[in-house]
Amino acid sequence: MLNRAVVEGSALALLALGIFALWFSARRSVRPESDGGYTTSEEIRFEIDRLQSGVYRWLTTTNHRDIGILYIVFGTVAALWGGMDAMMLRTELVTAQADIWTPETYNALFTTHGLTMLIFFVLPVFFGIGNYMLPLLIGADDMAFPRVNAIGFWLLPPALLMVRMGLLVQVGGQILSLFLPQDTIQFFLTVREVSVGWTLYAPLSVQQPNPQIDLLLLGLHLSGIATTVGAINFIVTIVYERTEDVTWANLDIFSWNMLVTSALALFAFPLLGSALVMLLLDRNLGTTFFATEGGGPILWQHLFWFWGHPEVYILFLPAAGLMSTLLPKFVGRKLFGYQFIVYSTMGMGVLSFGVWAHHMFTSAVDPRLKASFMAISIAIAVPSAIKTFNWITTMWDGDIRLSAPFILCAGSIGTFIIGGVTGVFLAVIPIDVLYHGTYYVVGHFHLIVVGIIPFMMIAASYYWYPLITGRWYDTRMAKFQAALLIFGSFVTFMTLLVIGGLGLPRRQATYPVEYQFAQQIATVGAYVIGLSALLWLYNMLVSYWKGDVVQTTDPWDLKATNQFTREWQWFEERMMEKYDLEPSEPESTRRSYAPDMTPIGLLGGVGTVAENVYRNAWMAAAGGIVGTLLMTGGLGTAAYVGVLDPASFSEIAELVGLPATPLIGALLFLVGGAVTWPLLFLAFSDYLPGRLLFETGLVFATLISTGFAIAFYTGQQGLAFIGYLGFVLVAHWAYGLGLTVTFQYLRSRRRNAHEMEA
């Protein structure tokens, strides 16, 4: 059995050391010593002075950009810490027995993981981005209350330390026990990380003796104060500090989201604070708010989720705001349906206070009451869907730039759809009763909390990197990192969704052996996520010291699509002042910005589709054949390794009334695919986002494979099912690749021929 405190402590120390080593080597290579290497004492004193004034500056700053950076750095540290918990959780689950950490350690791990991620990672990072960007976006000099802003931030580090003191005390205890006898350091060995779950349900949280629970409650309370203070500052800033030409009707979408988020926080967090105090009193002064006799544990659940569900939207809305801000920049089109996005944001804000009891469908609550909560929980899917449709429509016919932020946006929309749709199922009482407490829930909310929140944070870090640092990050590494992150998240959380659907309960360190392989797949996926997080950190740090210097005032070429927003105008002015750069002029405006699309009407649209098919049918046929050849490889392998049951093809044959043999079925399947798929693809090519390129092929192959997977689902169970889904995806990717490459090739040949004639 490994010792958690030692493992986690040393891993974090190693990470810190690694960062220091990076910094050190970067400084060396940037500033070589002129005299061949010897550092004089004068130079050392100079360095120390510099360090001192640096520390002093960061401790006392009230500038919104500095405080923004502080928040972001703090949130990143919390994310690494909470992420370390997650990696340890997944490591425990590699084997079906609890033989790496004890079940109690496992409980502590998911408790601290949840709390650290939800409280100390997400909101601080969003408050950081908000602090940095919001005044620039609305043309304010600073936040409304700069000093309050600083206080709001500086409450957070002590809060985190209080909440996570258990680990620090334990690490301290391990070190001390090397020198001192056990009984003198008893305190260090009894205080340990809290293990009652992040929802701190009474009566367990009242009864557990661990003194760390009290410290944790105080720490959470402190963080709640910090959040409230920050929220007030955002609200006042947005309401009162806008310049004259920023009206409610043209306030940018990120500020709108921060405004609604702050309003939610203002209503929700005081409630959490009160509930925490009540719990503290119950634990220490003998009150009976949540005692089974005299009070009621259900009261805790009501209070907790009345904060807890709005909190979910407090975390989600800023991410949605980033999506609405970034996506248009990378598809060269204005955000579709600005007003609807604003209204849906407000709608989610209001509704989110009316759904808390869907977390209590399996608790003793009056069934009639539950039914009304079910209705509102399903209703909240409407504003979520509005957002999704607007994002997809924004991409439609756009000119997609396949940069890392765009990859993350596209991945986010995908995971959000899966996470949201699975959430709607959970909102239906009979289904929740079945899946509550299984990995299905874990899969659902992680597809959202991982699939959109960190994705959008990272996308934003890439997008604004040139603005904040004046340098470029390594764009190739970033694309790779983005793809890795999406891949890892899909592997991990889709697997959890599946094993939860099969009924595996969550929050348990042990599980039946037949789930072991699936759990290992999920763990590998989680390590991939961890690796991509480290890659991101490496890229951010090293580029900060050594990245290419930005040479233009419009690094993303936003002027070309008329999206050179206020924060970039601020950047332009600064670059002109500091480096005498000329304001950059766009070379051309892109097609998608000035679409010569006369409204075609319903019939007109059909006409275009028919024309396209007619003109390009032979091309489609060629593409279809190449695609089919490639796909046969994927499906053949799947049948060969046994995840796809070839007999299932006979069902297709049966469907159209032919003899039910697998061979005829497979032939039908391939012929059908080779004809329908490429024709559809071509017919709608004018309407598809992006041109017929590699990435469009993959995007649509992904979409279509989902449909095929459902349509031809052939009754596999367990792991064979996961394998089946994997191969369907791979096969269709091969297909999409084949199609687009062929299309591209044929098209370029035809174009060349035309040019020869001309």
What are the residues binding ligand HEM (CB under 6 A)?
199, 312-313, 315-316, 358-359, 377, 380-381, 384, 420, 423-424, 426-427, 432, 436, 441, 445, 448-449
* E strands present in 112-176: none
Q: 436 is in the binding site of which of ligand HEM, Cu ion, none (Cβ under 5 to 8 A by kind)?
A: ligand HEM
How far apart CA 93 and CA 516 sit, in angstroms, is: 8
Nearest residue (CB) to Cu ion, 106 versus 493: 493
Report residue 162 CA to chain centroid gap: 27
Q: 405 is in the binding site of which of Cu ion, ligand HEM, none (Cβ under 5 to 8 A by kind)?
A: none
CA atoms within 13 A on the CB side of 93: 33
CB of 259 to ligand HEM, least distance (A): 18
Nearest residue (CB) to Cu ion, 383 versus 690: 383
Q: 424 is in the binding site of which of Cu ion, ligand HEM, none (Cβ under 5 to 8 A by kind)?
A: ligand HEM
Nearest residue (CB) to ligand HEM, 126 versus 568: 126
Nearest residue (CB) to Cu ion, 445 versus 593: 445
Q: 660 is in the binding site of which of Cu ion, ligand HEM, none (Cβ under 5 to 8 A by kind)?
A: none
Cβ–Cβ < 8 Å for 628, 739: no
Please provide residue 196's backbone torsions phi and psi, each rounded to the nearest 5 degrees.
-100, 10
DSSP string, 559-622: GGGT---HHHHHHHHHHHHHH-PPPP--S---TTTS------HHHHHHHHHHHHHHHHHHHHHH
Nearest residue (CB) to Cu ion, 304 versus 511: 304
* Footprint of Cu ion on 56-115 (CB under 5 A): none
Q: 396 is in the binding site of which of Cu ion, ligand HEM, none (Cβ under 5 to 8 A by kind)?
A: none
* 436 is a site residue for Cu ion (CB under 5 A): no
Nearest residue (CB) to Cu ion, 106 versus 304: 304
- Joined together, the tokens standing for residue 208 give 């557990």
CB of 359 to Cu ion, least distance (A): 5
Q: How many residues bind Cu ion (CB under 5 A)?
A: 1
CB of 450 to ligand HEM, least distance (A): 9
Nearest residue (CB) to ligand HEM, 131 versus 384: 384
Q: Answer left, alpha or beta for residue 693, where phi above 0 means left and psi between -120 and 50 means alpha.
A: beta
Per-residue contact string for residues 301-330; x = within reach of Cu ion by CB under 5 A: --------x---------------------
Nearest residue (CB) to ligand HEM, 460 versus 626: 460
603 burial (CB, 10 Å; 0-12 / 13-18 / 19+) is exposed
Cβ–Cβ < 8 Å for 545, 30: yes
Nearest to 81 by CA among 48, 114, 37, 45: 114
Q: 464 is in the binding site of which of ligand HEM, Cu ion, none (Cβ under 5 to 8 A by kind)?
A: none
Residues 6+ apart with CB under 8 A from 585: 559
Q: 652 is in the binding site of which of ligand HEM, Cu ion, none (Cβ under 5 to 8 A by kind)?
A: none
- Joined together, the tokens standing for residue 673 give 């695919």
Q: 621 is in the binding site of which of ligand HEM, Cu ion, none (Cβ under 5 to 8 A by kind)?
A: none
Nearest to 161 by CA among 116, 206, 128, 205: 116
Cβ–Cβ < 8 Å for 479, 403: yes
Task: Give the relative orientation of helices 404-427 and 439-449 as an angle to the nearest 10 degrees.
Answer: 140
CB of 436 to ligand HEM, least distance (A): 3
Nearest residue (CB) to ligand HEM, 171 versus 315: 315
How far apart CA 675 and CA 34 sit, in angstroms, is: 69
Q: 315 is in the binding site of which of Cu ion, ligand HEM, none (Cβ under 5 to 8 A by kind)?
A: ligand HEM
Nearest residue (CB) to Cu ion, 153 versus 304: 304
CB of 355 to Cu ion, least distance (A): 6
CB of 82 to ligand HEM, least distance (A): 13
CB of 86 to ligand HEM, least distance (A): 14
How far apart CA 83 and CA 114 sit, in angstroms, is: 10
How far apart CA 441 and CA 426 sit, in angstroms, is: 8
DSSP 130: H
Q: 314 is in the binding site of which of ligand HEM, Cu ion, none (Cβ under 5 to 8 A by kind)?
A: none
CB of 358 to Cu ion, least distance (A): 5
The end-to-end CA distance of the chain, in Å, is 77
CB of 357 to Cu ion, least distance (A): 9
How far apart CA 27 and CA 32 sit, in angstroms, is: 8
Q: 81 is in the binding site of which of Cu ion, ligand HEM, none (Cβ under 5 to 8 A by kind)?
A: none
CB of 379 to ligand HEM, least distance (A): 8
How far apart CA 418 and CA 426 sit, in angstroms, is: 13
DSSP 357: G
How far apart CA 312 and CA 329 sit, in angstroms, is: 27
CB of 580 to ligand HEM, least distance (A): 46
How far apart CA 336 and CA 328 sit, in angstroms, is: 9
CB of 309 to Cu ion, least distance (A): 3
Nearest residue (CB) to Cu ion, 164 versus 309: 309
Q: 447 is in the binding site of which of ligand HEM, Cu ion, none (Cβ under 5 to 8 A by kind)?
A: none
- Joined together, the tokens standing for residue 336 give 């579709």
- Joined together, the tokens standing for residue 757 give 């004639």
CB of 430 to ligand HEM, least distance (A): 12
Distances (CA, A) of 574 to 241, 550, 724: 21, 12, 54
Nearest residue (CB) to ligand HEM, 445 versus 694: 445
With CB atoms as reference, the residue minimizing the distance to Cu ion is 309
Cβ–Cβ < 8 Å for 263, 228: no
Q: 538 is in the binding site of which of Cu ion, ligand HEM, none (Cβ under 5 to 8 A by kind)?
A: none
Q: 423 is in the binding site of which of Cu ion, ligand HEM, none (Cβ under 5 to 8 A by kind)?
A: ligand HEM
Q: 445 is in the binding site of which of Cu ion, ligand HEM, none (Cβ under 5 to 8 A by kind)?
A: ligand HEM
Residues 6+ apart with CB under 8 A from 52: none
Nearest residue (CB) to ligand HEM, 20 versus 343: 343
CB of 312 to ligand HEM, least distance (A): 4
With CB atoms as reference, the residue minimizing the distance to ligand HEM is 423
CB of 383 to ligand HEM, least distance (A): 10
How far apart CA 405 and CA 391 sit, in angstroms, is: 14
- Number of CB atoms found within 10 A of residue 412's CB: 29
Cβ–Cβ < 8 Å for 547, 473: yes
Nearest residue (CB) to ligand HEM, 159 versus 449: 449
Nearest residue (CB) to ligand HEM, 420 versus 736: 420
Query: For binding to Cu ion (CB under 5 A), which residues are involved?
Result: 309
